[in-house]
Amino acid sequence: MKSFLYLLIIALSTNFNHTQSFDDFQITDLVKSTPLKNQMSSGTCWSFATSSFIETEALRLGMDTVIISPIYYVTPTYLGKAQNFIEKKGNSFFNGGDLTFSALDAYAKYGAVLESVYNGIIDGDWQHDHLEMDDLLRRMVTSIGKSGYGRIKPNSWKKSIKGVLDAYIGSAPDTFIYEGEKYTPQTFA
């Protein structure tokens, strides 16, 4: 398997000839996984990829196949980044991108919900498209973080940021039913 991965890395980093044969390689293990997740026009690949990892890890451990919502981790992560940006007066990272660790931290702290319960696509919209949302949030946190007045209202800005997130991706449920049982995101995780 290591040889195959090495060849795949070489193939991706060069102009690989797709007619080249793989006869020297043998598939020894197939890893069961959940269906591919499509982040569409969002900068939240970190959450989509990590959600797939969590699902696949659950399968590896012998648990049921479940499809969790990658969007569930966006709101707490964005709120954390906004707080950091504002506290540092704009001298911090704030945009849609992030790292696997943010989704894993949110999973540990907030749990998980099924994608069928919360998919982050508002009724009437057709796909994940966070470009407008990200631009609006960036402008908001920049305005708040660089205001320079030193009198930032901590509850007001949080409600404002949360309001924008809810408008664009909805709000996750506090409880939901899975296989006839009621769960919170924490008990489901």
CATH number at residue 102: 3.90.70.10
Residue 36 or residue 1, greater confidence? 36
Q: How many domains does the chain have?
A: 1
Q: What single string gives the DSSP state of each residue in the chain?
A: -HHHHHHHHHHHHTT--TT---TT---------PPPP---B-S-HHHHHHHHHHHHHHHHTTPPP--B-SGGGHHHHHHHHHHHHHHTTT-S--SS---HHHHHHHHHHH---BTTT--S--TT--S-B-HHHHHHHHHHHHHHHT--SS---HHHHHHHHHHHHHHHH----S-EEETTEEE-HHHH-
Mean pLDDT of 72-91: 90
Whether 74 maps to a domain, the answer reads: yes
Residue 47 lies inside a defined structural domain of this protein: yes
Is 10 inside any structural domain?
Answer: no
> Is the model's pLDDT at 169 over the cut of 90?
yes
Kindly tell me if the per-residue pLDDT of 185 is higher than 60.
yes
- Residue 160 belongs to some domain of the structure: yes
Q: Say what the pLDDT of residue 116 is.
A: 94
Domain coverage including residue 140 = 32-188
